[in-house]
Amino acid sequence: MILIKQKPDSIGAFASALCLIHCIATPFLFIAQTCTLTRCQETPLWWQYIDYFFLVISFFAIYKTTQNTSKNFIKPLLWISWFILAIIIVNEKNEWLHLNHHLIYVPALTLIVLHLYNRKYCQCNKNKCCANEE
């Protein structure tokens, strides 16, 4: 929790990148494994729910980032991207709508880019915060 408070953009970008790697790697890992461990019945439960772990980490990273950003336009973009990512993940688990599984890459990449942009250009420091500057 201390890291999220001190470096929310780095943690957020890292969590989003890990989520993206998880999404990309899943098909390859299970094709390579050829169902030997699970006898093709289903994927391990921990692997199915790791997305929620990444969502929780990114939620706290975004929460802290939005408190410290100097650019107001970053705040809604981060939250919109997170909500889209959360909806896609929950939909994927519950299968409410048939969505292309590649859609998950868009909000994940957007979160990575926004965190990295904010980290480089939009940080408030202890002496001065230009939150009203656009």
Among the listed residues 24, 76, 26, the one whose alpha carbon sits nearest the alpha carbon of residue 47: 26
Task: Provide the whole-model pTM.
Answer: 0.66
Q: Tell me what pLDDT residue 134 has.
A: 41
Among the listed residues 67, 83, 42, the one whose alpha carbon sits nearest the alpha carbon of residue 118: 67
Q: What is the chain's pLDDT, residue by residue, as a tens digit (134 residues)?
A: 444 555 667 777 777 777 777 666 666 555 545 455 545 556 667 767 788 888 888 898 888 888 888 888 989 999 999 999 999 988 888 888 888 878 888 998 898 888 888 887 776 655 555 444 44
Contact criterion met (CB below 8 Å) for 23 and 112:
no
- Length of the chain equals 134
> Using the 8-state DSSP alphabet, how is residue 55 labeled?
H
Q: Tell me what pLDDT residue 7 has.
A: 65
Q: Tell me what pLDDT residue 67 has.
A: 85
Q: Tell me what pLDDT residue 80 has.
A: 95
Residue 91 exposed, middle or buried by CB count within 10 Å (0-12, 13-18, 19+): middle
CA 63 to chain centre: 12
